[in-house]
Structure 1
Amino acid sequence: MTTRAWWLVVLNILLPGSAQVLAGNRKLGRVGIVATFVLWILALVTLVLFLVARTLVYSIATNIVALTVVQVLLVFYFVLWLVLTVDTLRLARLVRVGPTARWLVAALAALVLVVLGSTANYGVVVAGSTRDAISAIFAGGQAAGAIDGRYNILLLGGDAGADRLGLRPDSISVVSVEESTGKATMIGIPRNLERVPFSEGSPLYEPFPDGYDCGDQCLISYLYTYGSEHPDLYPDAEAEGSNAGVEAMRDAVEGTLGITLQYYVLIDMQGFSDLIDALGGITIDVAEELPIGINGGPVVGTIEAGEQHMDGTTALWYARTRYNMTDYDRMVRQRAVQEAVLAQFEPSNVLTKFQAVAKAGSQVVKSDLPQAALGYFVDLASKTRALPIASVELIPANGVVVERPDFDAIHDLVAKSLAPTAEK
C-alpha cells in the first residue's frame, strides 16, 4: 500500500487525473487528463508564438478580455488540481500506508498543491492588476500609424500638487522611436520657450497666427492652462482620451519641432517618486555634487557625485532642483531620470514588483496610447531598451534663444536628428 500510495501521488503530480483513471472515478480522471493536455498545448503554443510572433503574445497579454479569461482559467485549474489532489490522497488510503511514508506522501502532495496554488494566485493577481492599470491609463481608440517611419510621443511631466493651482507642465519632451529598429531619440523642450508657432490647422492658429504672443512672457508651458481654460477649442479631446490642455501642448510642440505627434503621456510628478520606488529605485551617474533646495531658500541636502542609487524622493529632487542652477541644467537631469526609469523596466524587475508598479503607474500616468496597440508598443519598447538613447536639447548651448527662437533652425536640427538610421 505504501508503494501504491507513492505511485498515485506522483502520477497525480505528473499527469493530474491519471490516478483517478487507474484507481478511482474514471470520468473525473478523464476531465483532469484532458484539461492537463489542453494546458500543455496552450503553454507550447504560447512559447512558439513568443518565438515567432512576439507582438501577438504581447497583444493578448495586454488585452482586457484575454486577461479576464486568463483569470478564470487559473481559478478553474487550481480548483481542479485541488479536487484531484484530495481525491488522490483518498485513493491512496493513507491509513494503510507505513507511518513514516504516510506523512511524506501527504507532505509531497500538499507541497505541490501549495506551489501550484501560489502560482495560480499570483497569476490571477497579476492579470487583475494589469487589466486595472490598462483601463486606468490607456485609451480605447484606434492606433495611429508611423509617420516618416517614426512614432513621436509627447511626454509631459505635470507639477500639480496641494500647493499649486491646477497643473502646468514642469517637463516637456518628445520621444521619437524609429519603427524599423526601435532606436529612440529624446528631444528636450524648455518650458520657458516663447513665441511658439502653430500650423494653420490648429485651433490655436486663429487666436495666435504669428505664434503664441500673450503680451508678456508667453511661455510654452502656459499653453496647458490656456487650453484648459478654453475647452471649446478641442471639443473632442475628452472622448479621445485626452484633454484640451494636452492638445494645446501637442499643437505647440508640433509647431516648435516641425513634426507630428501621434500620442502623449502625462506623468504627475508628485506621484512619480512612487513609481520609482515601486521599481526598486534608479541608478544615475551624478556628474557633480548637487545641492537640494529652492532658489532663495536653504540647502536641505546634497546628492553626492558619482554613481548613486536613488529612491523616488531623491530622484525627484535630482530631476527638479534648481538651486543656483538654470532650467537647462535641470532639463539634462530630467532626461537622465527618464532614461534610468526606462532601464528599470526589465521584465524580471517588473514581474517581481508588478502589483506596486501597476498601482503606482495607474495613479501617475495618463495617455492616449490605444489599448489595442499596447502589444506592438511593448515589443517596440523591448528593442528600444537594447539600444542607446540619443538626446537633443533645445537650449542656448545648442544655439536656441528661448526669448526669440529661430524655429526654422530648430526644425532643421530636429530633422537631422531624426533622419533614418541608414542615412546617419
Structure 2
Amino acid sequence: MITPTITYHEFSGSADALRDPRTASPQDRTRRALILTALTLFIPGGAQIAAGSRALGRAALAVTVGCWFLLLLGAAFFFTMRGVLLSALTQPFIMWVAAALLAGLAIGWLLLWLDTFRLIRFATLAPGFKPIIAVTLIVLITLTSGGLGYAAHLVNQGREALSGIFSSGPSIPAEEGRYNFLLLGADSGEGREGVRPDSIHMISVNQDTSESIIFSIPRDFQNARFSEDSPMRQVYPEGYNCGNECIINFLYTEVTNQYSHLYPEAQDPGAEAMMEAISGTLDLSIHGYVMVDMGGFSELIDAMGGVTVETSGWVPYDGRHPETDRWGDWWFEPGIHTFNGDQALSYARSRKYSSDYNRIQRQQCIQQAMVAQFTPQTLLTRFTELMQASENLFETNIPQSQLGSLLNLAVDAQQHNPQRLVLGAPDFGPPSELFSTYPDFDRIHARVDELIANEGQEEETEDTATPENQAQENSDQDQTEPAEDSSAGSAPGPTPEHSDPAVSGDMPPADSDTAPAELTQPDGSPLTMEYLIEAEQAGNLAVLEEAARDNNECTPVRG
C-alpha cells in the first residue's frame, strides 16, 4: 500500500518520469496518458510542453491563446457593435480567410493529436486500457479536427452561395432614414408564358428605430404609376393603364419580353420595372429587390425545419381525397400548424372560396413566421440545407457588402410588430369599389405618410396606457390596420338569402359588436375536412365560403 503512493508522488514531482514513462508504474502510465489527452483537448500544446517538444507546444499554445482572444473579441463586438461584426463576417475575403483559418486549425490540431499519441507510448499501456485510450482519441479527433474541418467547409460553402446570390456593387444609402425593398414571389406555373410575380410586397424599415411597414399590392392592381426616372414612361406616360392586360403582375413578363432594351445595364429588366412601378405608386424610393422563386420556396422552409403559425378559418388546398384518393380539395383546419414547405406554399397561395385579400394576409403571415423563426440556432444547425436552398431560390440586386448591416437591422426589426397596408380592399373600401382597378393615388400617398408618421406610437401607448389615450390608440389602429371584422366581411361569404341555418350552426348575423358563432355541422358537431369535402361535392358553396371567411387571420408562432 505504501509503495504505489510513494511511486505516484515521485512520478508527480518528477519531470523525467512525465517525459519518460519507462520510469513510472503501470498505474502512473495510465494517469499520464489521461493527463496528456486532457491537455491536448483543453489546452492544445500543453501535452507537448509537458512531455514533448516544448517549441512545438509553445507555438500551439500561442495559437490557442490567439483563438480564445478572437472569440472573446467577437463576443464583445456581438453585444456592443453587432452590425460591424455581421458586416465583417459576410464579406467574401473575410469568409475566405475564416475558412482557411479553420482548415489550418483542423490540420494543426490533428498533428497535435498524432504527436500526443506518440507521447503516450501506446505500447507501454496496460492491455486493458489500450482499446479505451484508442477509442477516446478517435472520438476526440473527430470532434475537434473533424468539427473544425466541417466548419471550414460550411464557411466556404456560404461564401460561394452568398457571392452567387448578392451583387458586388457599393452599399446603398438609406433615404430619409428608411430602407425600402421590394419582395416578389415569382411563379412560372403551368400554362403561363414566362414568370409572373403573384406575390408583391414592399417592406420599408426605419433605419434608426427598426420599425417596419409592409405594403401589399394585389396582383390584379391596375394603372400603376412609374417613377419619374423610369424609362417605361416612354411606353406608358400615364401609367400602366392599358386595361385588363396591364395588371401589375403582367408587367414583369412584358418588360422582359418586349422592353428589356430600355434597361441595358440591368441584371433583371423586369424586376427593375417592377421597382419603378411600385415606387411611383407609393411615392417612395425603392433601394433594391428580392425575388423568390415560389417553386423553390418550399425548399427554404424545409431547410428551416418548417414554420409554425396559428390560424383561424378553414383554408382549402389541392390534395387527394382520404377515401377515394381522387384529386380535389383538402382543408387546413383552424389551430396551430407546423407547416413543411409544400404545406406552407399551399396555405399561402390558396384563394378559393375567399378573396385575394385573405391570400395576401396569409402570405404576410408566412413571411413573418419565417423571419421570426429564423434564429441563430436555425442558421447553425441547418446551414448546409439553407445555403443549398437559397442558391436556387433568390435573385436580388442587394450588394453583399451591405448584407451584414441589413441582417443586423432585420434582427432588430423582429422586436416590433409591423404596420400593414393593402392597396385594395378592405383597406381602401369594400371590393365593390374596385379600388385596385381604379386607384386613387392621392389617397395612397396620404395613407403611406400616415403610417410613417405613426411609427413609435405603439411603444408610447404601451408605456402610457390610460383610459384617455386608449380610444386614440384604437383609432390609430383602425387607420393603419384592417380590423378583424372588416377583413372577415371582405371575404365573399354567403348572403342571408343563400345561408343555410341548419348547416351553418344557426349563426347570428355578423355585426361589429357580436362575434360569429363557431361553425358546426347540422347535428351540432364541429366541422371536419370530410364534411367540407362532401359539401363541395354537393355544390353547397355557402358552407364552403362561410368556413373560409376568416382564413386570413393568422399569427406567427415565435420559436
- For the aligned pair, the TM-score class normalised by the smaller chain equals over 0.9
Q: Residue 369 of structure 1 corresponds to which residue in structure 2?
A: 398
- Please report how far the alpha carbon of residue 413 of structure 1 lies from its aligned counterpart in structure 2 after TM superposition: 0.6
1:214-253 paired onto structure 2 within 5 Å? 214-228=242-256, 229-238=258-267, 243-253=268-278
* 3-state secondary structure, aligned to 1:398: coil
Distance 2:456 2:109 in 1: 55
Q: Residue 33 of structure 1 corresponds to which residue in structure 2?
A: 61
Contact 2:222 2:244 in 1 (8 A): no
2:309 aligned with 1:284: yes
2:48 to 20, 30, 40: 20
2:446 to 392, 399, 412: 412
1:148 to 167, 173, 176: 176
Q: What amino acid is the match of 2:372?
A: A
Q: Residue 408 of structure 2 corresponds to which residue in structure 1?
A: 379
- Please report how far the alpha carbon of residue 100 of structure 1 lies from its aligned counterpart in structure 2 after TM superposition: 3.5
Q: Residue 163 of structure 2 corresponds to which residue in structure 1?
A: 135
- Please report how far the alpha carbon of residue 278 of structure 1 lies from its aligned counterpart in structure 2 after TM superposition: 1.0
Distance 1:311 1:67 in 2: 31
Q: Residue 178 of structure 1 corresponds to which residue in structure 2?
A: 206
Distance 2:250 2:304 in 1: 32
2:111 to 78, 83, 90: 83
Deviates more, 1:297-306 or 1:152-161: 297-306
Q: Residue 354 of structure 2 corresponds to which residue in structure 1?
A: 325
Unpaired segments of 5 or more residues in structure 2?
1-20, 22-28, 320-325, 430-434, 459-559
2:300 to 275, 296, 312: 275
Distance 2:50 2:346 in 1: 66
Q: Residue 535 of structure 2 corresponds to which residue in structure 1?
A: none
Q: Residue 157 of structure 1 corresponds to which residue in structure 2?
A: 185
Q: What amino acid is the match of 2:331?
A: T
Q: What amino acid is the match of 2:342?
A: T
* 3-state secondary structure, aligned to 2:148: helix
Q: What amino acid is the match of 1:354?
A: F
Distance 2:457 2:382 in 1: 40
Deviates more, 1:297-306 or 1:314-323: 297-306
- Rate the CA distance shift 1:6–1:422 in 2: closer, same or farther, 3 A: closer
* 3-state secondary structure, aligned to 2:233: coil
* 3-state secondary structure, aligned to 2:248: coil
Which string of whole-angstrom CA distances, capped at 9 and with x for unpartnered residues, describes residues 6-56 of structure 1?
332222223222322333233322322222222122222212222222112
Q: Residue 307 of structure 1 corresponds to which residue in structure 2?
A: 336
Contact 2:357 2:426 in 1 (8 A): no
Deviates more, 1:228-237 or 1:413-422: 413-422
Contact 1:184 1:390 in 2 (8 A): yes
Distance 1:318 1:264 in 2: 24
Q: What amino acid is the match of 2:210?
A: G
TM-score (ref. length: structure 2)? 0.71
- Rate the CA distance shift 1:396–1:51 in 2: closer, same or farther, 3 A: closer
Distance 1:181 1:277 in 2: 32
Q: What amino acid is the match of 1:75?
A: A
1:55-74 paired onto structure 2 within 5 Å? 55-74=83-102
Q: What amino acid is the match of 1:378?
A: L
Deviates more, 1:181-190 or 1:212-221: 212-221
- Please report how far the alpha carbon of residue 298 of structure 1 lies from its aligned counterpart in structure 2 after TM superposition: 7.0
* 3-state secondary structure, aligned to 1:182: coil
Which string of whole-angstrom CA distances, capped at 9 and with x for unpartnered residues, describes residues 313-370 of structure 1?
1111111122133222211111111111112211112211111111111111111111
Q: Residue 494 of structure 2 corresponds to which residue in structure 1?
A: none
- Please report how far the alpha carbon of residue 293 of structure 1 lies from its aligned counterpart in structure 2 after TM superposition: 4.4
Contact 1:291 1:299 in 2 (8 A): no
Unpaired segments of 5 or more residues in structure 1?
none
Which string of whole-angstrom CA distances, capped at 9 and with x for unpartnered residues, describes residues 51-85 of structure 1?
22211221122111111111111111111111111
Instruction: Output the aligned Cα RMSD.
Output: 2.0
1:34-49 paired onto structure 2 within 5 Å? 34-49=62-77
Distance 1:80 1:253 in 2: 54
Contact 1:227 1:247 in 2 (8 A): no
- Please report how far the alpha carbon of residue 95 of structure 1 lies from its aligned counterpart in structure 2 after TM superposition: 1.7
Q: Residue 151 of structure 2 corresponds to which residue in structure 1?
A: 123
Q: Residue 260 of structure 1 corresponds to which residue in structure 2?
A: 285
Q: What amino acid is the match of 1:76?
A: G
Q: Residue 377 of structure 2 corresponds to which residue in structure 1?
A: 348
* 3-state secondary structure, aligned to 1:323: coil
Between structure 1 and structure 2, the one with the greater Rg is 2
Distance 1:420 1:132 in 2: 41
- Please report how far the alpha carbon of residue 422 of structure 1 lies from its aligned counterpart in structure 2 after TM superposition: 4.2
2:391 aligned with 1:357: no
* 3-state secondary structure, aligned to 1:221: helix
Distance 2:79 2:362 in 1: 37
Distance 2:318 2:144 in 1: 51
1:387-402 paired onto structure 2 within 5 Å? 387-399=416-428, 401-402=435-436
Distance 1:383 1:126 in 2: 26
Contact 1:271 1:363 in 2 (8 A): yes
Contact 1:293 1:322 in 2 (8 A): no
- Which structure exhibits the higher relative contact order, with contacts defined as CA atoms closer than 8 Å and separated by 6 or more residues? 1
- Please report how far the alpha carbon of residue 379 of structure 1 lies from its aligned counterpart in structure 2 after TM superposition: 0.8
Which string of whole-angstrom CA distances, capped at 9 and with x for unpartnered residues, describes residues 72-127 of structure 1?
11111111111111111211212222334444444433332221123213312320
Distance 2:168 2:365 in 1: 31
Q: Residue 169 of structure 1 corresponds to which residue in structure 2?
A: 197
